[in-house]
Structure 1
Amino acid sequence: MKIVRTPFLILLLLASVSCQPKNKSNKQEVAQKEESKTHMATKLSAEQLQEYETAYFASGCFWCVEAIFESVKGVKEVYSGYSGGSEKNPTYEEVSYGRTHHAEAVEVYYDPNVISFRQLVQVFFGSHDPTTLNRQGPDRGAQYRSIAFYKNEEEKKIIQDYISLLESENAYGDRAIVTEVTPFEKFYMAEGYHQDYEKRNPNNSYIRNVSIPRLNRFKENFKSYLKEDAH
């Protein structure tokens, strides 16, 4: 089993670059909503998605996390959204500004005949720093905390066993793993324009300076896990 011994997400000293929303003009908002409708129409249907298993993770800005899991073989679809809180129907503005108890999270649809839940857990820990409390890179707040969600006792054990392995191997030196191991309850889909955000907004400053470098570090260390077109 591959263990990554160094954190991948390096804190960038770019105060103006973050995953939090910026004020938009009405024209920009209208254009964004129209683009979202077109893009969401290309996603797999609910009927098609029923053929696959699901897994849920939170490890910082969901733009980054979605792109990472999308690059993994056996993963059929990934959605950005919100989970881990009790508030109903949260919005991006509410979550990103810490007005709820939710974290930015992803919903991963995968084929267990190609990739296992254990391997997805490995991807999760290998693509972010699980020792930074309520922070990933330039994004700070509980909404960016590290969470591995489980749907049953078997998944819980897989997560806990992998954390124990990382600790026994001293993977992060004297830094403690602060990832929450939390029972999955509800996933709220994020607004349409967040889906595949990195892929559709390559020139966004956050994407260029934080998200793409994070994805590339993951790819360099998990080459055998990548889809053919992700190399």
Structure 2
Amino acid sequence: MKYNKLTAEEERVILHKGTERPFTGEYVNNKRSGIYVCKRCDAPLYRSTDKFDSDCGWPSFDDEITGAVKRIPDADGMRTEIVCANCGAHLGHVFLHERFTPKDTRHCVNSISLKFIPDLDVAYFASGCFWGTEYYFMKAKGVTHTAVGFMGGHVDHPTYEQVCQKNSGHLETTQVDYNSTQASYEDLVKLFFETHDFTQTNGQGPDIGPQYLSCIFYSDAEQKAIAEKYIKILENKGYKVATKLKPASTFWKAEDYHQQYYEHKGSTPYCHIYKKIF
């Protein structure tokens, strides 16, 4: 069986049964609706409806998808280890009789062993420094979650430093999860164009380089058609649109200190300004 490529840290936990530090995992406080799959083989493991807050420092679930998780005695002789039933990837440990939920079960799982697939619709936009792009989308109606990272390159698991060297092919990209009953993809596309200079060809504002180019990464034919529609509208208004359209590929999430940057810093973007167009 062919498995997903793992980083050294993922191998330490998933293959060699290590443990990530408490309260550092990506999914500790994740409250979005969706399913959690195995990082190594993509097998579905847990539903978001079974996740609960145990304040233990790791994601906690009181049930698993039937047949997805295997329990085995831990090497320490005291605990019960849980692994992916499909590929044997180490997930964490299971504990009973703690009375957190009526099911009286706690699967204590390393975030790094999981990959989350949201139920909501998702869009990907690149419009210069991803700090500024995310700033506007995270405040938009209907948006439930945002993350910044990299897309469109030829290097797996790129770091910010690698992308800044301008030879990985990636663009700084914002992932936007949204509820389509509250906001449409058209709403997001309009906001994308209204918050950056889509006519600039060498970067965005003072940020010059291929990683800062304007691009919409579409996930399907419908998204592509909507993006093309608004580019045509802008061209009819007299704009020379430099925005590229590319099919969405793997989204590599950036380092934690980049996420929701301006919210944590308490400031506003230096190269993104809202300007109503539509």
Q: TM (normalized to structure 2)?
A: 0.58
Bigger fraction of residues in helix:
1
SS of 2:125 mapped into structure 1: strand
| Corresponding residue number in structure 2 for 1:44 | 31
Asked if structure 1 preserves the Cα contact closer than 8 Å seen for 2:131 and 2:269, the reply is: no
User: Where in structure 2 are the equivalents of 1:22-33 lying within 5 Å?
Assistant: none
- Amino acid aligned to 1:190: A
Distance 1:168 1:75, change over 3 A: same
Q: CA deviation at 1:40?
A: 6.6
**SS in structure 2 opposite 1:210?**
coil
CA distance in 2, matches of 1:58, 1:104: 6
Deviations 1:88-141 (A, max 9, x none): 110000112313100100110000001011111111111100111131111110
Residue number in structure 1 paired with 2:270: 210
Higher relative contact order (CA 8 A, sep 6+): 1
Supply the distance in 2 between the matched residues of 1:152 and 1:104 (Cα, whole angstroms).
20
Instruction: State the match for 1:28 in structure 2.
Output: none
For residue 184 of structure 1, the aligned residue among 230, 245, 248 is 248
Secondary structure of the corresponding residue to residue 177 of structure 2 = strand
Q: Distance in 2 between matches of 1:209 and 1:57?
A: 16
Alignment partner of 1:61 out of 121, 125, 129:
129
The residue aligned with 1:104 is 172
- 1:196 partner amino acid: Q
Residue of structure 2 equivalent to 1:156: 224
Q: Which has the higher strand share?
A: 2
2:135/2:269 contact within 8 Å kept = no
The equivalent of 2:192 in structure 1 is 124
User: Deviation above 3 Å: which 4+ runs of structure 1?
Assistant: 38-49
Out of 243, 261, 266, the residue aligned to residue 197 of structure 1 is: 261
Give the C-alpha shift of residue 84 in structure 1: 1.3
Q: Distance in 1 between matches of 2:187 and 2:256?
A: 28
The match for 1:15 is: none
Higher alpha-carbon Rg: 2
Which runs of no fewer than 5 residues in structure 1 stay unpaired? 1-33, 223-231
1:201 Cα offset (Å): 1.3
Q: Give aligned-pair identity as a percent.
A: 35
The answer to whether the 8 A contact 1:134-1:146 is kept is no
Amino acid at match of 2:24: K
Three-state SS of the structure 2 residue aligned to 1:166 is helix
Instruction: Report what 1:86 is aligned to.
Output: 154
Q: How many pairs does the alignment contain?
A: 175
Instruction: Give yes or no for contact 2:216–2:245 (8 Å, CA) kept in 1.
Output: yes
Could you state the TM-score of these two structures normalised by the residue count of structure 1? 0.69
In structure 2, runs of 5+ residues without a counterpart are 1-20, 36-47, 49-116
